[in-house]
Amino acid sequence: MTQYMLSVHPGQEPPSAERMTAIRAAVNEFNDELRSSGAWVFAGGLEPAHTATTVRIENEQAVLTDGPFAESKEHIGGFWIVEAPDLDAALKLADGGARACESPVEVRPFQAVSEG
């Protein structure tokens, strides 16, 4: 089976507290479905992008910068790592995730690991 990352891209405006409670419940239910289907590998929500620290190497020294790597209006808000037999199955899982979190979900396969 191939592993896929389903990354969540929330909107610019955070949902109301009431809406967020409903979204969390729906995501928990979706997580339970992933676990029971055997597709679950790992998942997690991320703190807002402004909490990031970016590490760059300049002249062989680590340089730390507050904030995200890219200046962008869209950032990953959370993700699932799932196992699926193929892209179509991963897209079906992403459909459930997008419905649960009420945000777009990007699907990307992990690179194959070469043994050698």
Any domain includes 116: no
Q: Decide: 76 and 8 in contact? Cβ < 8 Å.
A: yes
Q: Residue 85 CB: number of other CB atoms within 10 A?
A: 10
For the stretch 47-80, pLDDT in tens is 888 888 989 999 999 999 887 766 766 788 899 9
Average pLDDT score over residue span 8-16: 84
Any domain includes 55: yes
Domain total of the chain: 1
The domain in which residue 78 lies consists of 2-109
Any domain includes 78: yes
pLDDT of residue 81: 97
pTM value?
A: 0.83
Any domain includes 102: yes
Least confident of 37-41, 82-86, 90-94, 110-114: 110-114
Strands of the sheet containing 40-45, edge to edge, are 40-45, 78-84, 2-8, 105-109
For the stretch 85-102, pLDDT in tens is 999 999 999 999 999 999
Residue 23 to residue 28: CA distance in whole angstroms: 9
Residue 73 belongs to domain with CATH number: 3.30.70.1060
Any domain includes 114: no
